[in-house]
Chains A and B, each alone.
Chain A
Amino acid sequence: MGSAEEDYNFVFKVVLIGESGVGKTNLLSRFTRNEFNHDSRTTIGVEFSTRTILVGDAVVKAQIWDTAGLERYRAITSAYYRGAVGALVVFDITKHQTYDVVDRWLKELYDHAEASIVVMLVGNKTDLAQAREVPMEEAKMFADNNGLLFVETSALDSTNVEEAFETILKEIFYKVQKQKQRSSQSNTVALASENPASTAPAQAERRPCCVAL
């Protein structure tokens, strides 16, 4: 503790899910390190990265968990959905099959995560527009009907990557603010991890990953 990086007001845990090979790892590395790797290796189990950004006046540390898309890892990876306040469900716009199974990913997410989790549908690989198999309108409509945020991105040429993460983090932030107002009115619920750097030297109060919504 004590380093500049540790000075933040909120930690938001966000998970990246979706079929194998849709580009989850590269979306994350583009957002956290501005890197894209053409032959990035398969994610085994779960990995995570963080980046701290400003939302309004608040310093928000996004702790993003990148999960393996492979079916066999599901038992391991779904354990990481707990405590997540945001999720990016990623598909590849050039592979319809990866979009067809978004429903299944959502079901699994809601089975393991809090109902209030903010979910964004992300169609990745817009740089391969000539090979597009999923029309943007179709995905947009699906997102609207299911109460999901929606964006199309390209981790390769950076299109909308920043925007995608910023949008979901803002949305989470507003949700937390609203929750906070409500709870301060009723004076009952306190947000466990708010303002960890300034208020809580004690480890117990510093649950690193969760703001309850």
Chain B
Amino acid sequence: SIQHVYGAQHPPFDPLLHGTLIKAGSKPPTTPVKLKKVSTFQEFESNTSDAWDLGDDDDELLAIAAENLNTEVVMETAHKVIQNHSKLQEQHKFQEEHLQEEKQEEFAQLTSAACGDNRLVKSVSEGHTSSSFDNASENSSMQRSQSLPQTSIPPLTSGMADYSTSVTPALTEREASRLDKFKQLLAGPNTDLDELRKLSWSGIPKRVRPIAWKLLSGYLPANVDRRESTLQRKRKEYFAFVEQYYDSRNDENHQDTYRQIHIDIPRMSPEVLRLQPKVTEIFERILFIWAIRHPASGYVQGINDLVTPFFVVFVCEYIEEEEVENFDVSSLPEEVLQNIEADSYWCMSKLLDGIQDNYTFAQPGIQKKVKMLEELVSRIDEQVHRHLDQHEVKYLQFAFRWMNNLLMREVPLRCTIRLWDTYQ
């Protein structure tokens, strides 16, 4: 049977490991890493090796990093980025709010550069509020995302620039070969899920993502012959729930739940799809049905965000467009929409099965994960940890939302989707 994995870990989450991590945290800090003495990436990496996950496909990247990265280079590069950044700022004469937006954008770009699958879904980062829909800022953000590879690489280091241009075509080749690998794996009569999970760690190509997610979440069986019948049965089952429960949303014991879902959907991540009435309806049904079928947690803010990646990925299965955000969902046939809705419900349920204690009373799952984060930071970046401690910043204050919404409030949707390739 398939275990649902929360947390970016490969090989998949091991409860025993998890246990020791927490125990280590409760001991007085033994501080295995002395940051000051670490001068190379290799040293740092080997000192903290248990905190990193090394997938096969990452070896190459790590080798490059180990060769090229030392503190001086890193600092020099950082300096240049900052210099270049402030020049840009002068040019654009951004106001303070725009600066913040840009910082977030930059963070998003860094993350998306790491994603390696930039074309997936162009999305709007958190910093874009309603005010950013006026023409000027929309244009500037467009420019920024279009020039993504250039801006994330310091323009003054010619060596690095060469590196970037020589790598770009290789990446597409790499992507093509990755797609082949996935296709081969998915072609067999029985998909090897362990192998698929391993391969997915480095990102799932867009075209096979819907099927890969459905397999990895345990929604679809590994056996090809059983898939179609499972889909039909599950979709029927979901709409039977809708028929059975959805009318009760205005009953006295359910109206609070429904009211909360109803007021929260317009207040979700500003990814554009959700504003369409059709999408709102679908989200309300999915969330309400899930909530009343899981009374131990019920509906909690954050769960609503978790529908979005599934919905968007499954919509992509049926459309040609590269950009989902401007796609009019109501143009899809009713039956297709129903399939997307049921599939999203079940995959979200599967994901939530593994993290239900995030949303039960006092949210122990989140508290535990925040503790783990604290322990991890104290080991891999003691300086940061000490700094936070000195200023009495509690990890719960900033990391609660990260865990509660699985980082969906912090990074653009396309990066969330890439991250979720590793959660499935």
- Interface residues, chain A, CB within 8 Å of chain B? 20-21, 33, 37-42, 44-46, 68, 70, 72-73, 75-76, 203, 207-208
Contact = CB atoms under 8 A, between A and B. Distances in A.
A207 B390 CA distance: 11
A46 B404 contact: no
Contact of B397 (A41, A46, A208): A46
A72 to B, nearest CB: 5
12 contacts: A37-B131, A39-B129, A41-B269, A41-B409, A42-B268, A42-B301, A44-B301, A44-B302, A70-B260, A72-B300, A72-B359, A207-B392
Contacts of A44: 301-302, 400-401, 404-405, 409
B123 to A, nearest CB: 15
Contact of A37 (B129, B268, B392, B397): B129
A42 B270 CA distance: 11
Given A44-B401, A45-B400, A20 B260 contact: yes
B263 A20 contact: yes
Nearest to B275: A39
In the A-B complex, the 10 residue pairs with the smallest Cβ-Cβ separation, listed nearest first, are A45-B400, A75-B362, A44-B401, A72-B300, A42-B267, A42-B301, A21-B263, A41-B267, A44-B404, A70-B301
Contacts of A68: 301
B277 interface: no
B400 A38 contact: no
A65 to B, nearest CB: 10
B91 interface: no
Interface residues of B, number: 31
A33 B129 CA distance: 14
Contacts of A208: 391-392
Given A75-B363, A76-B363, A39 B267 contact: yes
Contact of A39 (B270, B396, B405): B270
- Greatest chain B CB density within 10 A among A38, A40, A72 is at A72
Contacts of A72: 297-298, 300-301, 359, 361, 363
B158 interface: no
A70 B264 CA distance: 11
Contacts of A20: 260, 263-264, 301
A76 B400 contact: yes
B406 to A, nearest CB: 11
A70 to B, nearest CB: 5
Contacts of B405: 44
A168 B266 CA distance: 32
Contacts of A39: 129-130, 266-267, 270
Nearest to B262: A21
A42 B391 CA distance: 27
Contacts of A45: 396-397, 400-401, 404
A125 B8 CA distance: 42
Given A37-B131, A70-B300, A73-B301, 4 more contacts: A39-B129, A40-B129, A72-B361, A76-B362
Contacts of A42: 264, 267-268, 301
Contacts of A38: 130
Contacts of B392: 207-208
Contacts of B397: 45-46
A27 to B, nearest CB: 15
